[in-house]
A = this chain, B = another copy of it.
């Protein structure tokens, strides 16, 4: 399809039929357009999460708008978030590493969401790093990474995870086999394994919407397996709760595996590299592991929403019956053995049935229709819908591309949802998409599966190479917070030891160790001048005092390699050695208000043996300068008084109208007062300086007080606006 060049001087068409004609759209295009278009203030039905593959970060996008809302650093640093830059996130990464070797990329494909009773609870998200054998935990309260742990045994992991029905475990497997230590090189020492990472959520800590659950390495364990190449896997649910199933192969032999992890919990463990390992022999003896030999390769194994079966992604897709599998395992109904003495179950003994779907089945997921499976058939360019009970195909759609990974929101939970299916087109060929150089983005199509007639309605680009494997949940299940409690270390959820409030900013020195306890609030960074000596080890501990929504401040020290992001309430620290003397401006890197450019300061690193004056000292003001600052101070006081009148008026009106009965208004008012409360010590300061005739400092602190006041007034006025709307609504009733 070709589009005409823009009509630079004629008017573009302004009615539907003319626009259709001008842009070469047909009726199906129009329907796709209106099914995905999201007007301002609109809300997507689903949040979808997809890893950027080797870029090591996560993308959050909306369905059906297919708009990308956020990037979050996970296995790679994300400078705009300070992730991998501030002390808190560096500590997170170091804690999870085995030897202080922190890799800065990943291989992240199939994420998993935390579950309650097999349904997504919207609290946490987990990722496996296939390249560097790590596991990550993200909190969906603030969309930040909370934990990254290096696997103590595996050299290579499958780039996906599965979660048990109540998030007891996050399951991770090896991919390519390798020895578990760094000394064995014999091919006989190669191993594979399945790890059950224990998850713990402390009770009674989530009252304020913060999720502080963590992976507990010391409660986790690995099941040792012989050297197989391990593929996709899933956890059982409902009747199959306690089992995990997956795909493995070796040479030209293909298997599905079944592991009963409830049985493993009761077995003895050995400690290898300080990690608990269940031996294969013990697992076999306990009938806790069995393999099913497959006649042909399969790409994955996933458990049906009802937990009755698991299904394979293969040209003849197989449906295995957990009831039969359990029976075979409990009766030791095995047909033979494979490597490491693992019992084999004959596929025919435990199969519910199978269905031939086509040539090169790539992936599948489950839908909301009873017992429905949607499978992508790569070579045949189609998606087939079929029924895992009846084993009959009941719909298909032929596509204009070869479909790869497939996803339906909540499709792998106990509660498949949605009229939407997304599917990957990995061949970003120029004939289909614009050319943006030799390496292309990943493309993903949105398929409308609401009716029996599936429709390909939108093409989205995911802007890094090789992105596939996503998970989505109803947006309203996730309850993101708007701000942190003031002084929060967001990586731990605890109040930071370095929390600093207005008026208590200070610089502490002990030998060559310098701690700066600073604050950020529109439109000042306090302190605005910092002097240290060459060679000092310096930490800026900064707290964002804002309570307003989306009022994040950034912080960077020019050319010094440090950057942080300070969301409202967050405290974070930036440590560096002042190994280069000179003058280095620092500033807020996030556009925060019209006075954003005023949020700057100067770091003076005095050269060794430096004897001269510091900068910005105003101890020797001339008479004229003193008079000027006195005038400035007096002018500012007038403005402060006028602003206070505005605030008083707003407060009076709010009280008269019972603002406290309106939840969102009440929150804003509390915010406003919190601001002004923080300002009290500042007021005391400027009054003291004025009393002593120190007009420079009096003016500076009056200016600071005014900043708090303006913000109070701003928030108060917004509260008033909101309350007016509420009152009008009530009047109409």
Contacts and interface: CB of A to CB of B under 8 A. Distances in A.
A468 B591 contact: yes
A248 interface: no
Interface stretch (A184-192, A193-201, A380-388): A184-192
Contacts of A428: 550
B69 A589 contact: no
B185 A131 contact: no
Contacts of A229: 597
A183 to B, nearest CB: 5
A552 B59 contact: no
A322 interface: no
In which size bucket is the chain A interface? 35 or more
A364 B10 CA distance: 22
A60 B436 contact: yes
Contact of A378 (B187, B401, B468, B594): B594
Q: Most chain-B Cβ atoms within 10 A of its Cβ — which of A35, A429, A448, A468?
A: A35
Q: Most chain-B Cβ atoms within 10 A of its Cβ — which of A106, A131, A132, A453?
A: A131
A417 interface: yes
Given A482-B430, A582-B183, A585-B178, A68 B68 contact: yes
Nearest to A490: B438
Given A23-B35, A178-B585, A183-B582, A550 B448 contact: no
Given A40-B456, A40-B459, 10 more contacts: A6-B45, A6-B418, A15-B31, A30-B37, A54-B554, A104-B561, A142-B437, A178-B584, A181-B582, A438-B550
A709 B107 CA distance: 30
A480 B434 CA distance: 10
A365 B181 CA distance: 62
A614 B103 CA distance: 28
Interface string A10-21: 111011100110
Oligomer copy total: 2
A536 interface: no
Interface SS, A side? loop
Interface string A147-167: 000100001100000000000
Contacts of A155: 558-559, 582-585
Interface stretch (A233-241, A340-348, A602-610, A696-704): A602-610
Contact of A556 (B34, B43, B131): B131
A581 interface: yes
A68 to B, nearest CB: 4
A39 B23 CA distance: 10
A67 interface: yes
A461 interface: yes
Interface in A472-504: 474-476, 480-484
Contact of A550 (B104, B439, B615): B439
Q: Most chain-B Cβ atoms within 10 A of its Cβ — which of A107, A452, A565?
A: A107
Contacts of A433: 40-41, 69
A729 to B, nearest CB: 14
A675 B540 CA distance: 57
A717 to B, nearest CB: 13
25 contacts: A3-B43, A15-B31, A16-B31, A19-B35, A30-B33, A30-B37, A34-B34, A37-B458, A40-B400, A40-B401, A62-B434, A67-B460, A68-B461, A69-B433, A70-B437, A79-B104, A80-B466, A131-B558, A131-B563, A132-B558, A143-B437, A185-B610, A186-B612, A426-B591, A438-B481
